Chain A
Amino acid sequence: MVSNRATLNWLYRYVLLPLGQILIFIVGAAVLMTAFAYVLAILFPTPRPNIVLADQIGRQLPGMIISGVTIGFVYAMIALGYTLVYGVLKFINFAHSEIFMFGGVIGFEVLRRITDAGFVQSWSPVVLVIVVVATSMLCSGLLAVVVERVAYRPLRGAPRLVPLISAIGISFFLADLVRAFEAVTRNAFKLTYPLTNIPALSTPISLTLGSTAINVRITSIIVIVGAVLMLVALNYFVNGTKLGRGIRAVSQDMSTASLMGINVNLMISLTFFIGGAFGGAAGSLFGLNVGTIDPFVGFTPGIKAFTAAVLGGIGNVTGALLGGVMLGMLESFLNGILVYFPALGIRYTDIFAFLVLILVLIFRPSGLLGERVDEKV
């Protein structure tokens, strides 16, 4: 009886609560954006001749939400890497975008090798995806640990901006290292995921919602499901295990944690491993979804994810998730609606996204969920 209750409690804390949180974020962001879209539709009912904005929004709504959630989760998973590292070391790991890229490249290599070995037909698509994502998580995580050991640990205690420059150096280094490797082994460094051979992954699903039929790519669903599973697992790890408590202790106060017998270096390596693994998962899921990856692909998603991390409150794991979903949804809706305004257009999407970020930060200088950092006394 007691154990049953404990199980329920466990389930509630580590499965239902985070799932609920994710659901609330998605629904909240979707409702907020939809409301915003309809306000626009009321203000400008016909931005172009022949266009009734409200009708268009209604037709596009499911598509915009799905694409927003997909890209939002990719941002969120990359943002986790920024935010975890920031939590313990208080610096922006600019090389994280390359860790993300590395995950994508590893994902490609694995899938390519499986395809070449002829296992594609015999393996079930689920196994295939799990193998690809797990390998890229492992490799990216290890890479992140090595990067920390080589480029950041010698700089611990140096002024805050010094590891930032070291991270930029690492970023240049990794991009060209991967490029050199792919150029030598494959003679090309623009890598195309061999998805066309796997019909289960490349055929879209048709959904009929009321009067509108939309096509959803199966890879989008993989991204969403994979991200949700991993986020729930991360929540359990950070809040429910001893190691997770160690990480939290180190991010609270490094020297006290060390006095309490926590191996600070191990915890930092572990943080980098988890952050890197999430970056790697994001990379391979992104590669599966988009179909192509190259050594320089990390830059834009990296910046966006960093924005998402700050939007949610840097250093805060839930914040990174919220920030990612918000940013993805915002981008998707802006892309979907700005098109109808002849004087604006989607070329202004990034400007509006940054404007929203600035507005949020004016009213909440530490991000949506961040604690106030400026009270030092």
Chain B
Amino acid sequence: MKTKRYFLFALLAIVALALSATFVGAQDAKVIKIASQSPLSGGQSLAGSSMRNSVELAINDLKQPLVDMGFDVQYVPFDDQATPDVGVSNAQNIVADPAILAIVGHWNSGVAIPSSEVYNANDLGMVSPANTGVNVTGRGLSVVNRVCGRDDSQGAAGADFLAGLGTVKTVYVLNDKTTYGLGVATFFQQTAEAKGLTVLGFEGTEEKSNFDGIIQPILAQTPDAIYFGGIYDQTATFLTQARAAGYTGIFMGPDGTDNSDFAKLAGEAGVGTYYSSAAGPISLYPDAAKYATDYQAKYGEAPQPYGPESYDAAAVVLHGIEVAIKLNGGNLPSRAQVAASIRGTSDFKGLTGSITFDAYGDRAVANYYILQVKSSDPTTWVQNEVLKTTTAKSPWATLMDSMMSK
């Protein structure tokens, strides 16, 4: 009984505290909220938090035009816990808040697809920074866009590069069994075979730390190159162990490898690794370097893969809202108007190049850069050299081209 009394008092005190801290009344009508959904807790929170931070950074950097027009821009991060149930429930919560005009999300395609159905039913524009799976767009949903590339174009860019080297005849393809890794690896394999390379094996593994058992048979087949569709923590660990086991060939990864922590994890073993990336080289896009420095300064760590894309996604959203407000005569636009102007984004200059959305919501033209790791020093990661630039047209653009030519 006694303990109960104490708990009761504590509870009352907390409620009183919460209520009395709310001296601020209702928000005025000129509040614009931008939401984001990414895994902020649990095993995938590293990437998800980086996404959240990048969006916050972008909103702080770029909200001034909207503020000048008299709007208060607020950011509402949601934690989707990498779980579809939570994502959809949050999505319903997001669409029920009329002040939220657009959403940046998600990290997992498995969460993005069911949630996007909810956004679409409520005309809420969504810009994805990280869902590279081919079936995220092209489902006939007018609100779904993405600033990241597609697995098919990136996988093809990687295979194209390796085939062009001339020294590579055989390649071993690995993936991390996620939507992303499997997607990239599958398209890499298809293009590699089309370009005349021999694919010795195609394997998926959820193993994150001990690759000894997997490395042995790969070494036995002596491939000229290994391609690993996965995120840097896994690929770097794999590479370190493969090099320690005596592998001397070429190693290549997708943009999940594009992180200075790759150099930290792999050390000397990582030098010489090729990777593809959508983030532009600093010589062409100086803002990307500023982003990396700002991020480091504000959050104390280097951004994770898809950080620049997250920044761009928020930038595109802010730009879309700005355009919609102007079209609406300076008044608060409707969600449908915002979604339409986001889809209408054309030649927007972001950290990852010029962004134009096609009718599917993909980037009409996506650039992929092939880079090589120069040193085991993480601080020189941004100086990695661009070896090749591939320009990939989106499926919609290709479709249009073929119709034009007919």
B233–A292 contact, CB under 8 A? yes
Q: How far is the CA of A51 from the CA of B221 in the complex (A)?
A: 9
Could you mark each residue 36-65 of chain B with 1 if its beta carbon is under 8 Å from any beta carbon of chain A, else 0? Answer: 000001110110000000000000000000
Q: How far is the CA of A192 from the CA of B301 in the complex (A)?
A: 13
A340–B46 contact, CB under 8 A? no
A-B contact pairs, 20 of them (CB 8 A): A59-B220, A60-B216, A63-B245, A64-B213, A67-B212, A70-B210, A70-B212, A71-B212, A188-B301, A192-B265, A195-B267, A204-B244, A215-B245, A290-B237, A333-B213, A339-B214, A345-B204, A346-B204, A347-B205, A349-B205
Q: How far is the CA of A179 from the CA of B221 in the complex (A)?
A: 40
**Any B CB within 8 A of the CB of A271:** no
B240–A291 contact, CB under 8 A? yes
Residue of A nearest to B304 (CB): A190
Q: Point out the residue from A59, A71, A204, A340 that lies within 8 Å of B210, measured CB to CB.
A: A71
Q: How far is the CA of A60 from the CA of B308 in the complex (A)?
A: 42
B245–A192 contact, CB under 8 A? no
**Any B CB within 8 A of the CB of A68:** yes
A336–B241 contact, CB under 8 A? no
**Any A CB within 8 A of the CB of B31:** no
A339–B205 contact, CB under 8 A? no
**Any B CB within 8 A of the CB of A307:** no
Q: Which 8 A-B pairs have the closest CB atoms?
A: A67-B212, A335-B213, A187-B300, A296-B43, A196-B267, A339-B217, A290-B209, A332-B213
Residue of A nearest to B268 (CB): A196
Q: How far is the CA of A166 from the CA of B152 in the complex (A)?
A: 45
**Any B CB within 8 A of the CB of A371:** no
A290–B245 contact, CB under 8 A? no
**Any A CB within 8 A of the CB of B177:** yes
Q: How far is the CA of A202 from the CA of B97 in the complex (A)?
A: 54
Residue of B nearest to A205 (CB): B244
Inter-chain pairs besides A187-B301, A291-B237, A292-B237, 11 sampled, C-beta below 8 Å: A59-B220, A60-B220, A63-B245, A64-B216, A195-B267, A204-B246, A290-B237, A294-B233, A297-B208, A333-B213, A350-B206
**Any B CB within 8 A of the CB of A56:** yes
**B209, B233, B237, B240: which has the most chain A beta carbons within 10 Å?**
B209
Could you mark each residue 107-129 of chain B with 1 if its beta carbon is under 8 Å from any beta carbon of chain A, else 0? Answer: 00000000000000000000000
Interface residues of A in 147-181 (CB under 8 A from B): 176, 179
Interface of B toward A, CB cutoff 8 Å? 41-43, 45-46, 177, 201-206, 208-210, 212-218, 220-221, 233, 237, 240-241, 244-246, 261, 264-265, 267-268, 299-301, 376
Find chain A residues with CB under 8 A from B177 CB.
347
A67–B209 contact, CB under 8 A? no
Find chain A residues with CB under 8 A from B265 CB.
192, 291-292
Distance between B187 CB and nearest chain A CB, rounded to angstroms = 18
A336–B204 contact, CB under 8 A? no
Find chain B residues with CB under 8 A from A334 CB.
213
Residue of A nearest to B241 (CB): A217
Q: How far is the CA of A270 from the CA of B41 in the complex (A)?
A: 33
Q: How far is the CA of A296 from the CA of B209 in the complex (A)?
A: 12
A345–B203 contact, CB under 8 A? yes
Q: How far is the CA of A176 from the CA of B240 in the complex (A)?
A: 28
Q: Point out the residue from B205, B206, B216, B244 that lies within 8 Å of A217, measured CB to CB.
A: B244
Find chain B residues with CB under 8 A from A188 CB.
300-301
**A67, A214, A350: which has the most chain B beta carbons within 10 Å?**
A67
Find chain A residues with CB under 8 A from B237 CB.
290-292
B214–A300 contact, CB under 8 A? no
Q: Point out the residue from A66, A190, A296 that lies within 8 Å of B261, measured CB to CB.
A: A190
A192–B264 contact, CB under 8 A? yes
A339–B212 contact, CB under 8 A? no
B43–A215 contact, CB under 8 A? no
Find chain A residues with CB under 8 A from B261 CB.
190, 192
**Any B CB within 8 A of the CB of A331:** yes
Find chain B residues with CB under 8 A from A71 CB.
210, 212-213
